[in-house]
Structure 1
Amino acid sequence: MAGAALQILGLGASTPIGRNVWASAAAARAGVCGFSEHPYMVDTAGEPMRIARAPWLDVGLDGAARLDALLLPAMDEALVPLAQAGGSSPLRLGFALALPPPRPGRPDTLVGDLLKAIGEHLPDRFARTGHFEMGHAAGCLALSAAEAGCARGAFDACLVAGVDSYLSSETLEWVEACDQLHGGGPLNNAWGFIPGEAAGAVLLGTPDLVRRCGLVPLGEVVSAGIGMESKLIKTDEVCVGEGLTQAFRAALQVLAPGEQVHNVFCDLNGEPYRADEFGFATLRTGEHFRAASDFVAPADCWGDVGAAGSLLHVALAVIASRKRYAEGPLSMVWGSSESGERGAVLVRCAESMGG
Structure 2
Amino acid sequence: MSRLSARGRAAGLELLKPAFTLLQTRTARAVLVGGIDSHVDAGVLGILDQEGRVHAEEVLDGFVPGEGAGFLLLSSQRILPNSTAIAYVSSPGLGEEQGHRYSEQPYLGDGLADAVRAAVEGAPGLPVRTVFASLNGESFGAKEWGVAFIRNREALHPELRMEHPADCFGDIGAATGPVLV
Cα distance in structure 1, aligned partners of 2:130 and 2:175: 19
Deviation at 1:211, TM superposition (A): 8.2
Counterpart secondary structure, 1:290? strand
The aligned counterpart of 1:228 is 96
Cα distance in structure 2, aligned partners of 1:228 and 1:292: 28
Could you tell me whether the CA contact under 8 Å between 1:223 and 1:254 is conserved in 2?
no
**Cα-to-partner distance string for 1:172-199 (whole Å, 9 max, x where unaligned):** 1011122211111xxx221011111000
**Pick aligned residue for 1:240 from 102, 108, 112:** 108
Query: Aligned in 2, Cα 1:144/1:238: closer, same or farther, shift over 3 Å?
Result: same
Deviation at 1:246, TM superposition (A): 1.1
AA partner of residue 75 (structure 2): G
**Pick aligned residue for 1:309 from 172, 176, 180:** 176
Does 2:142 correspond to 1:275? yes
Query: Aligned in 2, Cα 1:311/1:292: closer, same or farther, shift over 3 Å?
Result: farther
Structure possessing the higher relative contact order (Cα contacts under 8 Å, 6 or more residues apart): 2
AA partner of residue 302 (structure 1): F
Deviation at 1:212, TM superposition (A): 8.0
Gaps of 5+ in 2: none
Does 2:41 correspond to 1:168? yes
Does 2:6 correspond to 1:130? no
AA partner of residue 251 (structure 1): A
TM-score (normalizing by structure 2): 0.92
Q: What pairs up with 1:109-258 in 2 under 5 angstroms? A: 128-184=1-57, 188-206=58-76, 209-210=77-78, 213-235=81-103, 237-256=105-124
Query: Aligned in 2, Cα 1:309/1:211: closer, same or farther, shift over 3 Å?
Result: closer
Residue correspondences, number: 181
Q: What pairs up with 1:258-337 in 2 under 5 angstroms? A: 259-291=126-158, 294-314=161-181
Query: Aligned in 2, Cα 1:211/1:165: closer, same or farther, shift over 3 Å?
Result: closer
Cα distance in structure 1, aligned partners of 2:93 and 2:116: 6
AA partner of residue 193 (structure 1): F
Larger radius of gyration: 1
Counterpart secondary structure, 1:159? strand
TM-score (normalizing by structure 1): 0.48
Deviation at 1:133, TM superposition (A): 1.1
Could you tell me whether the CA contact under 8 Å between 1:240 and 1:276 is conserved in 2?
no
More strand by share: 1
Root mean square deviation of aligned Cα: 1.9
Cα distance in structure 1, aligned partners of 2:97 and 2:45: 25
Cα distance in structure 2, aligned partners of 1:166 and 1:283: 32
- Bigger Cα displacement from structure 2, 192-201 vs 170-179: 170-179
Cα distance in structure 1, aligned partners of 2:6 and 2:66: 17
Query: Aligned in 2, Cα 1:311/1:211: closer, same or farther, shift over 3 Å?
Result: closer
Cα distance in structure 1, aligned partners of 2:171 and 2:104: 23
Cα distance in structure 2, aligned partners of 1:222 and 1:143: 9
Deviation at 1:250, TM superposition (A): 1.2
Deviation at 1:168, TM superposition (A): 1.5
Could you tell me whether the CA contact under 8 Å between 1:164 and 1:197 is conserved in 2?
yes
Could you tell me whether the CA contact under 8 Å between 1:162 and 1:200 is conserved in 2?
yes
Deviation at 1:214, TM superposition (A): 3.8
Could you tell me whether the CA contact under 8 Å between 1:269 and 1:300 is conserved in 2?
yes
